Every structure is written in structure tokens, then in C-alpha cells.
């Protein structure tokens, strides 16, 4: 699991706290999923094609499989988490990190290192736009309710 901070993150977090919890989670989930899909596509492009099975197992999801959960035990959990990477092929981890008999041939870490600022910027921009829209929507709703009360 990788934790990252980016410029404007604290302000964005404060703005999300002013929204309803469900709205904030939906905004975060959509922004994270969009960035994760883009990242998973780059992961697929970085795999040397030995067989199609590994490429087909690269994807995006909101849940880990049993093995991945066991490995992530003890790490801090967030309200919204989206995962991009190898979903169900143990060969992905062996290829990425190597084994005692096979040298590592990373295909995800280099992509992440080269795309990190772009991905975080995409998340920040998507969330900022969505938060502004949600705040405007809440403001309009409050004005309509105030107008009804004034009648």
C-alpha cells in the first residue's frame, strides 16, 4: 500500500468534511476509480506478453482477495479505497518482486513512479470540481427550502 500527499490535499479534505458523508465518499470513489482505470491500463501496457493471463488479471476494484487482505493486515484503512493491479494471478507478484529462483521484472512500480504526479493531479482536479458542484447543489437546495419557508 502506498500513501501519498499532494498539494491542496488538506483544503480538499476540509471541503469534503463540509459535505454529507455519503456524498464525500461518492466523490472520492469516482475520482479514485477514474485514476485507477488509467493506471491499470498503463500497467497492462508495461507487461511483457508471455501469456494473456497476467494481462487479463490486471484490473481495478474496491476489494482485495483473501491473500491480499492477509498481506495488508495491520495497515491503516481509509473510508474509500480503490485498488489497481493484479487481482487474481499470483504470478504477478512473482514477476513484480521476484523469487529466490527468479529475478524481479517490475512492471507496475516503474509505471507508478513515472505516473504518480499525473495520477495524483487527476484525483485532485476531479475531486475539486466534484466538491464545487456538490457545494453549489447544496446551496441551491438550501435556497429553495428557504424560499418555500418564506412563502
Domain boundaries, the chain: 9-150
For 100-142, how does the pLDDT look when each residue is reduced to its tens digit (9 = 90+)? 998 988 889 999 999 998 999 999 999 999 999 999 999 999 9
For 56-85, how does the pLDDT look when each residue is reduced to its tens digit (9 = 90+)? 888 898 887 777 777 777 666 677 888 888
Residue 26: the pLDDT is 93
| Predicted TM-score (pTM) of this structure | 0.80
Whether the CB-CB separation of 46 and 107 falls below 8 Å is answered with yes
Q: 14: phi > 0 → left, psi -120 to 50 → alpha, else beta; which?
A: alpha
Residue 131: the pLDDT is 94
Amino acid at each position: 500500500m502506498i500513501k501519498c500527499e499532494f498539494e491542496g490535499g488538506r483544503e480538499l479534505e476540509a471541503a469534503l468534511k463540509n459535505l454529507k458523508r455519503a456524498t464525500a465518499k461518492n466523490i472520492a470513489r469516482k475520482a479514485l476509480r477514474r485514476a485507477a482505470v488509467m493506471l491499470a491500463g498503463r500497467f497492462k501496457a508495461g507487461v511483457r506478453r508471455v501469456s494473456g493471463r497476467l494481462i487479463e488479471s490486471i484490473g481495478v476494484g474496491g476489494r482485495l482477495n483473501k491473500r491480499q487482505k492477509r498481506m495488508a493486515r495491520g495497515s491503516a484503512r481509509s473510508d474509500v479505497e480503490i485498488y489497481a493491479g493484479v487481482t487474481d494471478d499470483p504470478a504477478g507478484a512473482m514477476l513484480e518482486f521476484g523469487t529466490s529462483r527468479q529475478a524481479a521484472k517490475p512492471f507496475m512500480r516503474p509505471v507508478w513512479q513515472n505516473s504518480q504526479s499525473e495520477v495524483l493531479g487527476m484525483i485532485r482536479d476531479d475531486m475539486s470540481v466534484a466538491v464545487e458542484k456538490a457545494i453549489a447543489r447544496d446551496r441551491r437546495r438550501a435556497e429553495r427550502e428557504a424560499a418555500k419557508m418564506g412563502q
